[in-house]
Chains A and B, each alone.
Chain A
Amino acid sequence: MACICANAINNGVKRTHFYLFLCLFSIGKYCNAQFDQRISASYNEAPLIDVIMELESEFQVKFFYNEKWFKEGTVTADLNGLSIRDALPKILEAQKLTYVLRAPNYVILLPDEGDSNQTLTVDNSRNERVSIGSLDLSAEKAKISGHIINGENNAPLNGTVITIEENENRYLSDVNGYFELTLPIGDYNIKFHHPTMVDYTISTTLNSDGKLNVQMFEDVFVLEEVVISTEAIDQNVTKTITGQEIIDIETIKSIPAFFGEADVFNSVLSLPGVSKLGEGSSGINVRGGGVGQNLIQIDDAIVYNPSHLFGFFSTFNADAVSQVNFYRGSIPVEYGGRLSSVMDVEIKNGNKSEFTGAGGVGFINSRFLIEGPVRKDSTSFLAGIRAAYPTYIIRRLEDEDLKNSSAFFGDANLKIDHLIDVKNRISVNGYISKDQFDFSDEAEYEYGNKAISAEWNGQIFQNTFIESTANYSIYDYTFKDITDPQLASSLNANVNQFTWDNKFQTETGKHKLSYGTSLTGLSINPGDYQKGSSESILQPVSIAQEDGWLGALFIGDEYEQSDKLSFYAGVRYSIFSGGRPGLEEIYHGPEPRLSVNFQTTTTSSIKLSYNRMRQYIHFISNTTSATPIDLWKLSNESIRPAIADQITLGYFRNFEQNMYETSAEIFYKKTTDLVEYKNGADLFLNQDIEGEIVQGEGQAYGLEFLLKKTRGNFNGWISYTFSRSLIKVEDPNPFNTINNGDFFPTNFDQPHNISAFAKISLSRRLSINTNFTYNTGRPISYPESAYQIRGITVTDFVERNKYRIPDYHRLDVSFVMATSLKREKKIEANWSLSIYNIYGRRNAYSVYFKTNEITGESESFQLSVIARPIIALSYNFKF
């Protein structure tokens, strides 16, 4: 979706109705029925805004306008018996406004007095035609210039392709989104194309030199609880890359969340093919992959542990997030290093024209974010912080140990964005997250991520742009056990990563080339175990540090052969060197990527993709759920890199002018050298962890369906996924062969997954959001026999993951109520009441067997992490 506006870029008005009505021009046809409804009302000096709201309420029509256009005058008219269509001229008579009707039910109000000297005018009689400049009969040519920006955050959109359809000439916007082109006087259709935005075409009449500022949007955006899509052909159908999702901040915020805290992971989890093992488990599982197979980045800097409080919250402040790019199918060549998915969290650029902010106060945590200009129009900052304060709750409990305990978690963002000149822009982003928990003077732990990234965007040739990024990330944890002074210990471990990426983008004709280099330095300190007190008799242990280098060259080309057929083909060649001292090894190989989009109609397409990914760093975790103290380990002579080949075939179809999006995708993924663990593997401070690991062959396949309603008072989506994730481990040593060398389910094999989200706008103030999740229970091993040894009853687990825990399902609901409907309010605020697990389902996290120490009998138990509804109230605001 795109829209155009006069002087819009820096006027500080964001998401006003003014933008929206222009965006709606791309909707094609009138819809008569809605506007032929008869009115039975008369008005006497009624404020126009009241009349509009009454019509909206009574006839289910939507008005779009800029209130600034409204004159002081009122409406005095007898409308009895008139249709809406006939009544509108009377209503607007005193307002110097005209209107355009658009399907399905939109009434777009427009100022009736164009200013030919303004940057842009709209010729209402010709609907979508824009008149540029004043009529100058002497002129033969004229220059159109302007800026193209992201309508969501005012960020300039460099690399936007501007095509004059009449002569097929193409131009590119620079790093500031600026473009300039000279054309003979006349009428033109100008098409704007940007890879992350929806294409937009506008009809213009070029009279003389003029400015044309363009705002582009993603396919959908949310405005006052109404989701509007303006494109006849939506991105889900037209994009060549399959399996890519762009999740905007409004979607993230609208999904009911644990303790009411908007969470990036929640929105990703609602996508088909994405699941997690339950409450209290960190990370996500994508198309049968483990949590360590996802590349999670914040402004290009990697985040090794994206979870607070062992997985209950993600470490990303939703207020600071611009959007989340999530790839699970075809992954562009600039990404590598993980097998299953890429989650690229983009932090907003600060507002360059005025100070704005947002925040929220909740039951367990609060947050605050402020952004604004450092130097108007060129430099901005964004600073955000989130902090949780569960300690006051913990200390109110009766348990003496808990009274002496404390907990904290939080995160902070700081971003500086600076436009150097028209062709160069730099930004620096700093990020920190921390979790801390002290238990009754017995144990303390803390863990956290730190990341800093710097990015330079520049135009180095007319049609070539560079994006150079340098970033440094560190994840570290400390665990102190001070229960017994003799055994008091302190364990520290960390993962450090430095990456320098250079990505070039060149557009020539129908080709869009991406190519570049990536260089990553990795350093892992697997564990430094020290005495935790002077009385401690523990022997300090330091596991040898592992270092490695990972380099990659990549090139990819997105080629649009015709309106119906487009390709994306590329290859990434990666090379790794390093590993545990003494076992260093070099691995390298190509990672081809291919994607084909065949658009069968204007509203449907078939996509096919193939991907190869290589992963040289392994997540070592032998527990049900990932823990903060799990290890990362580099490939070496004994541990080979894992390689995944995935093929995806999908059919995408939209209905009702993109109101409904549907898709069906099937995928098959084969992975070699997946890391698995021997029975009873001991990973803690193990100097020779290679001896505990076996590598097997993975196999995942599935079918994913999605139905999405993108606009209206009732919108949302439902997805269903059937998938399997299996692994086969055969080892020369028969004792290390698992389940007789047959394929068996991985820990995260959950064949059936249903995810549904609905947003119901009851009024302008009140909306209800609901979220339902269903998963087949995850695999688990049950004992099939028992035996007595030394008087102890021991259960015998033979076959790994043969059984399943009970199925998981949960319904969450949130009610969001705006505090005020005033349109000129300085602070927009709402109250959000969320109920997580509304029917109090005791979803099994695990089933375990334990011998009763008194009776000696083996008993089985189910552990449910959240066994009741969790109700939370939060107050959210922005200014």
Chain B
Amino acid sequence: MITRRYIYILLLLGACVEVFDPEIDSSSDQHLVVDALLTNENVRQIVTLSKTTEVGDTALIPVANAVVQIEDSNGDVFEFVYFKKGRYLSVNTFSGIVGNSYRLLIDVNGQRYESTFEELLPPGEIRGINTEFGFVPLQEETGEILNVPRISFSADVTFPANETSYYRFDWNATYQARTPSQGSGVCWTERGENEPEELVTDRVCYISENSSNFLKLFSSEGLEGTTFDDVEVFSVNPNKRFQTIYSPELVLYRISENIYDFWDAIEDQTFNAGSLFDSPPGPISGNMRNTDPNGTRVIGIFEVASVFRYRSFLKPSVVGRQLLHYDPDCTLQPGPFGTPPPPRPFSCCECLLLENSTAIKPAFWQD
């Protein structure tokens, strides 16, 4: 905290942050990366195996030839099969049982990797979702600072007494969307091949969105009582999201302390770097080990977590009506003098063209 505040003082003195391209030795060996999650939800559990890449490369290098198993503390083994893009799915759906411990076993290229046993702990609880609307400064590429609207969502959390509990949040959301010019022809003058045959003027779409590059942790360490209100989880630009109903779902994963420490280190090194008093970064140790001490290194985590989900349906009143239909993409932009305005994106006339859109009402939806 003190370090972040101090950055402001530095700015007074002429501090500067600029993009820097260091010379890095990228000839290091590729290592196995494990990204595994086992929950108490009865689904096909997923384990993703990949390899490390060069810095700056965001492509995932899948590992497809592994034998993957999860073993519980009773000796029961759950087999996994390769699906695609490094993802292995459990052969059958199954759920972790609270109180049991599990470990991940991987055989690949003659190396055997295993995790420590992780106990599935009882879930935490979200009692409610709170919203707060405001404006945050955003610096444009031109250097101009704009105040953009932002709505943030926070959770009221209940946690067990007399023990420290650790959590990771995730979120997803669905909202109803009616594009401003639904069914009209203002978006195009000639019909193309990929456009819907028929333009429905009263179509209602449901757009879903998931977290991306998101990590939010919470722990009850050092807290009195069993509740904590307003844990800020995520925020979005209201824009077109709040035309009718916006339905965020907060997901609370109860995890063990050492899994929490892993995510905490990732948060520090990945999102919070850049203060004057950073701790030197280092390798982040998860709970995976190569059974051969002289074997190749393995990175990643086998996360065992119990899940608590909380969904809310929010009406535009939480934002303020002046932003109800604001969608910069579909706002008519004047063209150069004497020329007609440029056509709006097709998605302004057909909500199905929006990303992750469907006209099928989700089962959980409440009007």
Could you list which residues of chain A lie within 8 angstroms of chain B, going by C-beta atoms?
280, 309-310, 312, 390, 393-394, 397, 399, 401-402, 405, 407, 437, 439, 442-443, 445, 479, 481, 483-484, 486, 529, 537-539, 541, 622-625, 627-629, 677, 679-681, 685, 734-735, 747, 780-798, 800-803, 842, 844-854, 856-868, 870
Cβ-defined contact, A439 with B60, below 8 A: no
Could you list which residues of chain B lie within 8 angstroms of chain A, going by C-beta atoms?
1-3, 5-6, 8-10, 12-22, 24-26, 28, 30-31, 33, 35, 37, 50-58, 60, 211-215, 222-225, 228-230, 261, 265-266, 268-271, 273-274, 276-285, 293, 299-301
Residues of chain A within 8 A of B56, CB atoms compared: 786, 857-858
Cβ-defined contact, B18 with A864, below 8 A: yes
Minimal Cβ-Cβ distance residue in A for B1: A481
Q: Can you name 10 A-B pairs with beta carbons within 8 Å?
A: A394-B12, A443-B1, A625-B277, A680-B261, A785-B55, A848-B273, A851-B271, A860-B19, A868-B16, A870-B13
Known: A405-B8, A442-B5, A787-B300. A854 touches B213 (CB 8 A): yes
Residues of chain B within 8 A of A483, CB atoms compared: 1
Report the separation of the CA atoms of residues A797 and B22 in the bound assembly, to the nearest whole angstrom: 14
Report the separation of the CA atoms of residues A851 and B273 in the bound assembly, to the nearest whole angstrom: 9
Cβ-defined contact, A792 with B266, below 8 A: yes
Known: A848-B274, A854-B213. A789 touches B300 (CB 8 A): yes
Cβ-defined contact, A680 with B50, below 8 A: no
Scoring B52, B214, B228 by chain A CB atoms within 10 A of each residue's CB, the highest score goes to: B52
Scoring B24, B30, B280 by chain A CB atoms within 10 A of each residue's CB, the highest score goes to: B280
Scoring A397, A484, A625, A787 by chain B CB atoms within 10 A of each residue's CB, the highest score goes to: A787
Minimal Cβ-Cβ distance residue in B for A628: B2
Known: A310-B6, A858-B56. A624 touches B274 (CB 8 A): no
14 more CB-based (< 8 A) A-B contacts, given A394-B9, A859-B19 = A280-B10, A280-B276, A407-B9, A443-B5, A484-B230, A784-B28, A788-B35, A792-B214, A796-B52, A796-B283, A842-B16, A846-B274, A866-B15, A868-B16
Minimal Cβ-Cβ distance residue in A for B34: A789
Closest chain-A Cβ to B267's Cβ sits at a distance in Å of: 9
From B19, B31, B300, A785 is in contact (CB under 8 Å) with B31
Closest chain-B Cβ to A69's Cβ sits at a distance in Å of: 51
Closest chain-A Cβ to B297's Cβ sits at a distance in Å of: 8
Minimal Cβ-Cβ distance residue in B for A790: B35
From B8, B211, B228, B270, A401 is in contact (CB under 8 Å) with B8
Minimal Cβ-Cβ distance residue in A for B170: A790
Known: A787-B50, A868-B14. A537 touches B213 (CB 8 A): no
From A484, A539, A790, A860, B21 is in contact (CB under 8 Å) with A860
Top 7 A-B residue pairs of the complex, sorted by shortest distance between their CB atoms:
A679-B282, A867-B16, A862-B20, A785-B52, A623-B277, A848-B273, A787-B33
Cβ-defined contact, B16 with A848, below 8 A: no
Closest chain-A Cβ to B122's Cβ sits at a distance in Å of: 21
Residues of chain B within 8 A of A486, CB atoms compared: 228-230
Cβ-defined contact, B5 with A439, below 8 A: yes
Closest chain-A Cβ to B197's Cβ sits at a distance in Å of: 35
Minimal Cβ-Cβ distance residue in A for B299: A787
Report the separation of the CA atoms of residues A163 and B214 in the bound assembly, to the nearest whole angstrom: 80
From A484, A788, A801, A848, B58 is in contact (CB under 8 Å) with A788
Residues of chain A within 8 A of B5, CB atoms compared: 437, 439, 442-443
From B8, B60, B283, A399 is in contact (CB under 8 Å) with B8
Cβ-defined contact, A861 with B24, below 8 A: no
Minimal Cβ-Cβ distance residue in A for B10: A865
Known: A863-B276, A865-B10. A842 touches B24 (CB 8 A): no
Report the separation of the CA atoms of residues A157 and B13 in the bound assembly, to the nearest whole angstrom: 45
Cβ-defined contact, A785 with B54, below 8 A: yes
Residues of chain B within 8 A of A622, CB atoms compared: 279-280
Report the separation of the CA atoms of residues A781 and B22 in the bound assembly, to the nearest whole angstrom: 11
Cβ-defined contact, A788 with B28, below 8 A: no
Cβ-defined contact, B283 with A845, below 8 A: no
Cβ-defined contact, B276 with A624, below 8 A: yes
Cβ-defined contact, A795 with B270, below 8 A: yes
Scoring B26, B213, B215, B229 by chain A CB atoms within 10 A of each residue's CB, the highest score goes to: B213
Cβ-defined contact, B278 with A797, below 8 A: no
Cβ-defined contact, B301 with A789, below 8 A: yes
Cβ-defined contact, B1 with A402, below 8 A: no
Known: A486-B229, A796-B52, A856-B58. A865 touches B276 (CB 8 A): yes
Residues of chain A within 8 A of B10, CB atoms compared: 280, 865
Cβ-defined contact, B283 with A850, below 8 A: no
Minimal Cβ-Cβ distance residue in B for A735: B285
Report the separation of the CA atoms of residues A853 and B25 in the bound assembly, to the nearest whole angstrom: 25
From B2, B268, B299, A445 is in contact (CB under 8 Å) with B2
Residues of chain B within 8 A of A848, CB atoms compared: 273-274, 278, 281
Cβ-defined contact, A861 with B55, below 8 A: no
Cβ-defined contact, A783 with B55, below 8 A: yes
Cβ-defined contact, B13 with A856, below 8 A: no
Cβ-defined contact, B283 with A679, below 8 A: yes
From B16, B50, B223, A537 is in contact (CB under 8 Å) with B223
Known: A397-B12, A842-B16. A537 touches B224 (CB 8 A): yes
Minimal Cβ-Cβ distance residue in B for A531: B224
Known: A781-B280, A850-B271, A863-B276. A539 touches B54 (CB 8 A): no
From B2, B54, B230, B300, A786 is in contact (CB under 8 Å) with B54
Residues of chain B within 8 A of A393, CB atoms compared: 12
Report the separation of the CA atoms of residues A781 and B278 in the bound assembly, to the nearest whole angstrom: 12
Residues of chain B within 8 A of A623, CB atoms compared: 277-279
Minimal Cβ-Cβ distance residue in B for A805: B22
Cβ-defined contact, B15 with A864, below 8 A: yes
Residues of chain B within 8 A of A856, CB atoms compared: 58, 212-213
Residues of chain A within 8 A of B58, CB atoms compared: 786, 788, 793, 856-857
Cβ-defined contact, B274 with A861, below 8 A: yes
Cβ-defined contact, A788 with B50, below 8 A: yes
Known: A537-B228, A797-B269. A747 touches B52 (CB 8 A): no
Minimal Cβ-Cβ distance residue in A for B225: A537
Residues of chain A within 8 A of B223, CB atoms compared: 537-539
Closest chain-A Cβ to B174's Cβ sits at a distance in Å of: 19
